[in-house]
Every structure is written in C-alpha cells, then in structure tokens.
Structure 1
Amino acid sequence: MSTTRKITVTALAAAIGVSTLAACGGESGDSSSDATKSKTVTLVSHDSFAASDAVLKEFTRQTGYTVKVLKSGDAGAALNKEILTKGSPQGDVFFGVDNTLLSRALDNGLFTPYEAKGLGQVRDEVQLDKDKHRVTPVDTGDICVNYDKKYFADKKLAPPQSFDDLIKPAYKNLLVTENAATSSPGLGFLLGSVGKYGDAGWQDYWKKLKANGVKVVDGWEQAYNEEFSGSAGGKKAKADRPLVVSYASSPPVEVLFAKPQPKEAPTGVATGTCFRQIEFAGLLDGAKNEEGGKALLDFLVSRQFQEDMPLNMFVNPVVEGAKLPELFTTFGAVVDKPETVAPDTIAENREQWVQSWSSLVVK
C-alpha cells in the first residue's frame, strides 16, 4: 500500500516497536567486503514497509541473510526510481507495486521470474501473474468509505453502505475524498467507481457525487486527520465531514492507538464502496544477490511474515490459513465483494480516467 496509509511509519514504529531499517544511499559508499555483501539482501520499498524485529531476525536465522530496507518514497515514486535504474537496480527485491501500477512494472521488464516456495498456499485470485511468476502477491487491502458512528447515531441516520447511497440527498455535503491525481486512496476510490459502473457510467456517477457535495483534498492525511469527524485527529480539529475515503483496516487502527482502548471502534466501514489493492514483490532484474532475493520472496509468503504484517502495515495476508490478530477480527470489516479492475485495463486507461475525473470534479 501507499505511504498515505492510515498512519505514518514513524508513528507506528514508536507505538509498537517495528523495525524501519532504512538504508542510506547506494552501494558506492559501502566499504564492506564482497563476502559481507553476499550476506545482505536489499529490499527496495515504498515508505510504508514495516516488519517486527523478531520476524526479520528469524529470516536471518533461517537463511543467513540480513535484510536491508531501502525506502524510496510513495509507491509511484519508488517504482519510477526502479524504472530509471532498470538492469542496475538499487537492491535485490522490490516490494510495494500494486495492481494499479502492476502493468507498468511488468511492461518495463523490471523483474526476473521466480516461483516462490509456498506460492501454492497463496489464494488464487490474487495471483495476477500466475503463469509467468514475475511478481509474488504479498498482501491485500481495501480502500473504502469510513463513517463516524457517533454522527450517524446522533442524527438517527443509517450510515451509507454502497456507492449508490453516497449520491442520495441524505448524505449531501458529508463525504471527503482524496484527489485521484495525487493520492493512492483517491485513485483507488475512482477505480472502485469504474469497477462498479463501468467505463460508460463512472463519469455520470461522479457528476452526481459532485452535485451531492463531495469535498476533494490533496491527500489522505488531510482527509482523514483534518476533515473526518470520526478520527482522533478530526475530533481535535473539530472536523465536520462524517464520511471519508480510507481503508477497511482504519477502525482497528483507531482502537489500537486510543488511550484507553475503547470496547467498540468509533468508526465503521461502508463495505459496498470498496476497491481491493493487491501488493506484490519481485526479484529485480540485475540483482546483485539473486539467491538472497529468492530466499526473501519465499519468506514474504511464509506464515511467519504473513501473520506479522497486519499490525505492522495494517494489511491482510494472502496465504490460506494465516491468522489475523484479534484486533482485526474484533474491530475490522470483512469485505466480501470488493470492486476490482484488471491491471491491463488500468494501465490502458489510468491517465485518461484521472484527467477526465479532474475535469469533472476538481476544475
């Protein structure tokens, strides 16, 4: 997922002790011996990658390799850097390309095919490159409208549950979303409307949504922490929008960081408004430590790593049988039928859709 996820990595690290392990610069300033380098595998990622120290140490114990994480901005910026360094990559494995950007990465030939051990335990519907194994699915997350439970209880108004609900007069001037041209959740929400209404119908939907008072801001931080009345930040800012485009995992985050922890999440999820993101990792073409990269890909789909992810990156496992933490099962939302759009279709139309959306909604 992108760096506009629910909470910054810095705050997350401070709160639950995860490892950031950010590398500084490239290999040119590294004076270590070749023997030492061969024991290090470099993971290039967007800024939201996080894993517990214990799990990374377990990878080292099992394989002898130490993971170095090189963070490269948000998902789009990180991918752009890898395209520019194609064939001479910054690291060995790239993590964080999702289904909205997947075709761009594959078309640029960034990855060396590798079928990760344990891939047979990964759910079939997330294996979007199953025949070629250029990328390995690692996690999923759902971009959805979140709602402020107190607001709707006080108003004695049922919260919206679907895309269609959001254009009803009862919800006029209640929704804030992110700019699809500058924000990953904003783009995901746009793609969700494309999945729901098709290429012929999504523009008409957004005309109605605009007429119903949707507010657009640049990014997730502003939308969720400044405009949304249901978030801890929004309450401090006296925000007045009880609907926001965020993630299905946002309610557990609100509970995790509340002091004292409430018995019920203050926010809910409109499960009929969701678009599913799938994040992938791949062995970079030209990787200096190809064997270490393969070992890391194997580990990313192991039960150990998969069960470690939810409370570190607030995403869902892709491995069958991987257990979710109680925080997720108690306070999270189950999204049975998220909207999806094929990566090739996204690649062919993304720029045009965003331009059309901007003309309709922003200008």
Structure 2
Amino acid sequence: MTSTTTHDHRRPTAGRRPRTVRLAATAAATLLALAGCSLTGGGDDEPTTAGTAGGGELTVVTHDSFNLDQELLDAFEAESGYQLTMVAPGDGGALVNQLVLTADSPLGDVVYGIDNSFAARAIDAGVLTPYTSPELPASAEQYAVDDAGSLTPVDMGDVCLNVDHQWFADAGIPEPTTLADLTDERYKDLLVVTNPATSSPGLSFLLATVGAFGQDGWQQYWQDLAANGVKVVEGWSDAYYVDFSGSEGAGPRPIVLSYASSPAAEVPEGASEPRTGALLETCFRQVEYAGIIAGGGNEAGAQAFIDFLLSAEVQADIPGQMYMYPVDDAVELPEAWAAHAPLAEDPHDVPAEVIDANREEWIATWTEIVIG
C-alpha cells in the first residue's frame, strides 16, 4: 500500500483538528438555539433516532486532514448524546489499509475520508456496512460507488494543473490548456507534479492521464512528459510553495499540480482576479466518502454522524475547513469560490473498480518510466 500526503492549502486548518472532541454543552446549546435546526436529521417535532437512543462514545476514523468547525462538532454531541473520539491512522490510502488490517478488531464505528482511488478496495474487503442516508442530496447520487450504499459521498474536488498567469504573459508564451499540450517543447522544464506513490494529488493526476490516454496510452504520455523535463517532488507543499512561480514562493516553474479551488486563495490583497488559474481540461475528480465500519458496535451513532456530515451546516463548512466542494449543490459556496474556483465540466474519469484492480501496477510502471 502506498502512502499518500495531502496539503495544507487544500486543508488550511488541518493542523488544528482535535484528536478527541470533548462536549461543550453551553456553546453547543447556544449554537443550536441560533441555528434552530437539527444537525442529525429530522424536524423539530420529530426527534431523531440518535437523539433518542444516543449516548456513550462514537469513534470516528478519518484521514489525517479532517477538520470541521469545533462548534458544529460540539453541537452534534449535544444533540445526539454521543461523545466523539477521532482516530486518524494516516492519509486516505493508509486509512483503507488500516480498516482492512483491523477488520477483526475495528478501529471505530464510522469512517470518513475514503476516496474514489481506494473505495473499491474497502468495499471488496467487506469492512463496511451499507447505509443510505435520508439526508443524501440528489446531487450526490452521481458519486455512488455501488447500488448498496456501502459508502456515502460527502465532498469532492478536482485535481488539476494550475498556471502562473503573469509568468506566461511576461514570457510571451500561450498558456497550455490540455494534457497533450504539456509535451510541446514550448513547455519544456516548466511543469512540476507530485509522486503518485507519496502524494494524493499525484495519484489523482496519474489517474487523469489514464483516463485521458487509456490503459495502453498513458505510459507513452509519461515518457513524453519525462523527456520534456517534468519535475517530480514528493509532496504538494514543495511543489506549490517551492517550485511553483505563481504563489508565495519564487520557484522557476509556472505550471504545478494542485486543485481547481487553489486560485480562489491566490487573489492578491486589493485585487479582483487571482494570479493563477486552473486548467480545467486536465482534471481528475476526487470524491471523499463516509461509511459505517462493519462490526464497530455503534451502528446507530455511525448513521447519525453520516447524516450530520450531509447536513446543510456541515456541507457549507467544508470549503473553508477542508478546501473541498460539498456534494450538496444547493449549498452556497464562498464568494471567492463562486468567482474563481469552478469545477471541471468534463473531468477525466477512471471507474473505481478499474483503479482498484490496477492501482499498484500503474504506480510501479509510472515509477519505472519517470523515476527509473
């Protein structure tokens, strides 16, 4: 199993995520009074199952970049009666690996952070109990990985190449628009990406190339990229803040692997337009899911937490906390996102079961081609 790393631009407050969430009754009661609604499903006149039968501990297993507003978590505890404990064994890949390895002695009751790169492995391993939340919005149904409801989509985002607008304007070179453009000699030594064996965006970008060029064509594409001077680094932070010319750093490369949402954070003070842009024809859509852990012992609490993740309040909190898009398209996005962070209309796609059957072989082949 590969180890993958996320980044602090997409997850701007990840470092503040608490390992154990303690009940704060006063703050939670105040928030609930202001909100005037339920975070775990049901209306004011119909108490939720969780609120009626809740109590005790609910262990949530997440990737190490999970973050939500503490007041929302406190409110969930106050309304449901559960005390949350967070367990974070690593990134999305490590998360699934640990669920499989601990199937006979589960790490917790509910999991959040399995993405579509590893979803089929978790389902095939039998570590999930199906559940279809009544809170699931119609806009999320397109991201279902099976008909049983093994995993519930919570958020999503597009991994895309980003460009430094000013660099290209100064150089008098047109910005690339497609993956194929990057093999043109005009863009030699201009691209930096991350390693799919060590980086979640890197794996998503590898999958984008598989989706674009097919299982028999992506290898030649990477040979051409390597010949055109692509630079590979281990993690997103080095690529974006050290090698990329368009953000905080003064790197030499004006094309970087990042997210479609990244330009929203690159609007200089006093300006109205970002200094970077996402190439929306180069994207792979990453979807993150929640699920009930089989044998976890608190299925009712797990259901309540999944309903909570789909609540309007949590969905609205996701962009600012985890730099992903909510799966509920009725949720209003932050102003900067609406203006500068559009999703790709037609992202490259590889079915989850195809990813699961080939992921490790593809990474090994990529390593041989690009790293040597």
Tell me if 1:166 matches 2:197: no
User: Which residue of structure 2 lines up, in the alignment, with residue 343 of structure 1?
Assistant: 352
Tell me if 1:284 matches 2:293: yes
Q: RMSD over aligned Cα, in angstroms?
A: 2.1
TM-score for the superposition, normalised by structure 1: 0.88
Query: How many Å separate the matches in 2 of 1:8 and 1:139?
Result: 13
User: Which residue of structure 2 lines up, in the alignment, with residue 249 of structure 1?
Assistant: 261
User: Following TM superposition, by how much is the alpha carbon of 1:54 offset from its aligned partner in structure 2, in angstroms?
Assistant: 2.4
User: Which residue of structure 2 lines up, in the alignment, with residue 275 of structure 1?
Assistant: 284
CA contact (8 A) 1:6 1:250 kept: no
User: Following TM superposition, by how much is the alpha carbon of 1:199 offset from its aligned partner in structure 2, in angstroms?
Assistant: 0.7
Q: Which runs of 5+ in 2 are unaligned?
A: 22-53
Equivalences, count: 338
Tell me if 1:212 matches 2:228: yes
- 3-state SS, counterpart of residue 144 of structure 1: strand
- 3-state SS, counterpart of residue 119 of structure 1: coil
What residue identity is the alignment partner of 1:246? S
Query: How many Å separate the matches in 2 of 1:160 and 1:111?
Result: 42
- 3-state SS, counterpart of residue 60 of structure 2: strand
CA contact (8 A) 2:14 2:322 kept: no
User: Which residue of structure 2 lines up, in the alignment, with residue 176 of structure 1?
Assistant: 192
User: Which residue of structure 2 lines up, in the alignment, with residue 20 of structure 1?
Assistant: 17
User: Which residue of structure 1 lines up, in the alignment, with residue 243 of structure 2?
Assistant: 227
User: Following TM superposition, by how much is the alpha carbon of 1:69 offset from its aligned partner in structure 2, in angstroms?
Assistant: 1.9
Query: How many Å separate the matches in 2 of 1:182 and 1:13?
Result: 19
Tell me if 1:40 matches 2:57: yes
Of 66, 70, 83 in structure 1, the residue corresponding to residue 83 of structure 2 is 66
CA contact (8 A) 1:87 1:110 kept: no
Matches within 5 A, 1:184-199: 184-199=200-215
CA contact (8 A) 1:6 1:247 kept: no
User: Which residue of structure 1 lines up, in the alignment, with residue 44 of structure 2?
Assistant: none
CA contact (8 A) 1:142 1:275 kept: yes
Indicate how the Cα distance of structure 1 residues 305 and 64 shifts in structure 2: closer, same or farther if over 3 A, else same: same
Query: How many Å separate the matches in 1 of 2:5 and 2:289?
Result: 15
User: Which residue of structure 1 lines up, in the alignment, with residue 30 of structure 2?
Assistant: none
Deviation per residue, 1:134-170 (Å, 9 max, x gap):
1101111111001111101211222111111111121
Percent identity, aligned pairs only? 42
User: Which residue of structure 1 lines up, in the alignment, with residue 135 of structure 2?
Assistant: 118
Of 77, 88, 92 in structure 2, the residue corresponding to residue 75 of structure 1 is 92
What residue identity is the alignment partner of 2:189? N
Deviation per residue, 1:204-261 (Å, 9 max, x gap):
11111111111111121211111111121x23xxx10111111111122334xx6x46
What residue identity is the alignment partner of 1:12? T
User: Which residue of structure 2 lines up, in the alignment, with residue 107 of structure 1?
Assistant: 124
What residue identity is the alignment partner of 2:209? S
CA contact (8 A) 1:122 1:301 kept: no
User: Which residue of structure 2 lines up, in the alignment, with residue 140 of structure 1?
Assistant: 156
Query: How many Å separate the matches in 1 of 2:125 and 2:354?
Result: 17
Query: How many Å separate the matches in 2 of 1:188 and 1:227?
Result: 20
Query: How many Å separate the matches in 2 of 1:346 and 1:70?
Result: 26
Deviation per residue, 1:21-62 (Å, 9 max, x gap):
2139xxxxxxxxxxxx94332211111110012222332343
TM-score for the superposition, normalised by structure 2: 0.86
User: Following TM superposition, by how much is the alpha carbon of 1:3 offset from its aligned partner in structure 2, in angstroms?
Assistant: 4.3
User: Following TM superposition, by how much is the alpha carbon of 1:276 offset from its aligned partner in structure 2, in angstroms?
Assistant: 0.6
User: Which residue of structure 2 lines up, in the alignment, with residue 7 of structure 1?
Assistant: 9
Query: How many Å separate the matches in 2 of 1:46 and 1:352?
Result: 24
User: Following TM superposition, by how much is the alpha carbon of 1:89 offset from its aligned partner in structure 2, in angstroms?
Assistant: 1.4
